[in-house]
Amino acid sequence: PSADQLVGLDCEMVGVGKSKRSALARVSIVSYDGVIVYDKYVRPDEEITDYRTRWSGIRKSHMKQAISMTQARQEVLTILRDKIVIGHGLKFDFEVLQFQLPSTSKRDTANYLWLRRLADVRPCVTPSLKTLARIILNKTIQTGEHCSVEDARTAMQLYRLVSNKWELDLKQHSKSFMEDEYWP
CB 159 within 8 A of CB 147: no
For residue 176, the model assigns a pLDDT of 54
Percent of the chain whose predicted confidence (pLDDT) is above 90: 78
For the chain, give the number of residues: 184
Query: Residue 43: exposed, middle, or buried by beta-carbon count in 10 A (0-12, 13-18, 19+)?
Result: buried
CB 78 within 8 A of CB 59: no
CATH architecture of structural domain 6-182: 2-Layer Sandwich (3.30)
| pLDDT, position 54 | 86
Q: In the predicted model, what is the mean pLDDT of residues 155-176?
A: 88
5-31 pLDDT, tens digit each: 999 999 999 999 999 999 999 999 999
| β-sheet bridge partners, residue 21 | 16
- List the one residue out of 163, 6, 148 whose CA is nearest residue 79: 6
* pLDDT tens track for 47-95: 999 999 988 899 999 999 999 999 999 999 999 999 999 999 999 999 9
Average pLDDT taken over every residue of the chain: 91
Residue-by-residue DSSP string for 1-55: --GGGEEEEEEEEEEETTTTEEEEEEEEEEETT--EEEEEEEE-SS-EEE--HHH
- The Cα 172–Cα 90 span in angstroms is 23
First-to-final CA distance of the chain: 33
132 burial class (0-12, 13-18, 19+ CB within 10 angstroms)?
buried
What are the sequence ranges of the domains in the chain?
6-182
Strand partners, 24: 13
pLDDT, position 47:
95
- The 8-class DSSP code of residue 107 comes to E
Give the Cα separation of 145 and 151 in Å (integer).
Answer: 11
Judged against a pLDDT cut of 90, whether residue 174 lies above it is answered with no
- Name the β-bridge partners of 106: 85
Which residues have a Cβ under 8 Å from the Cβ of 88 and sit 6 or more positions away?
A: 10, 108, 109, 110, 129, 132, 151, 154, 155, 158
